[in-house]
Amino acid sequence: MANIIKQNTFSKYLLWHFIEAPKSILKGWGNYLRFGLNYFSVGLLFKTLFSPWRNYRWFYPKAFDIGKYAEVAFSNLISRVLGFLPRSILIVVSIVFEVLILFAGFFVFIIWFILPVFLILGIYHGIRLSI
């Protein structure tokens, strides 16, 4: 506690800007990435990727009828394809979302470290223009 009181304002700023704030940025960045995975339910989408659409299933008849067997097999196949398409589209959308969040977070993280340079340049050019 005594060490914090003895620090001057500039060293407190440096500590905050280059140590504490980047930790918070990384934590927020991770939260956004986890949010995307939870929002799109990527794990569940992969588990049920080939499940029938809305659990629509046709059952095979007890008596042997080649026509009915083919009809049920084709209907179940169509139901699984109809389940696969929206799930795969949502998986692709979630991957695009995650990549965008990765780039945005990286951009914010890099810009955060460049901001002091802009501050110093702004002060320098302001003083130069006022002279």
Average pLDDT score over residue span 26-35: 96
pLDDT tens-digit series, residues 64-83 = 888 888 888 898 889 989 99
Per-residue confidence band for 120, with pLDDT thresholds at 50, 70 and 90: very high
pTM as predicted: 0.75
**How many domains does the chain fold into?**
1
Reported as type and span, the H/E element at residue 52 is none
pLDDT value at 90 more than 60: yes
Q: Is the pLDDT of residue 55 over 80?
A: no
Alpha-carbon torsion, ordered 121, 122, 125, 131, to 10 deg? -130
State the Cα–Cα distance between residues 6 and 18, nearest whole angstrom.
19
Instruction: Evaluate the CA torsion angle 15, 17, 21, 23 in order and state its sign.
Output: negative
The answer to whether residue 88 is domain-embedded is: yes
Residue 118 lies in a domain: yes
Q: Give residue 52's domain range.
A: 8-130
Residue 20 is assigned to a structural domain of this protein: yes
Residue 3 lies in a domain: no
pLDDT at 10: 86
Per-residue exposure over 37-72, b if at least 16 CB sit within 10 Å of its own CB, e if not: eeebebeebeeeeeebbeeeeeeeeeeeeeeeeeeb
Residue 2 lies in a domain: no
B/e letters for 89-99, b = 16+ CB within 10 Å, e = fewer, are eebeebeebbe
> Is 1 part of any domain?
no
51 within domain boundaries: yes
Residue 45 covered by a domain: yes
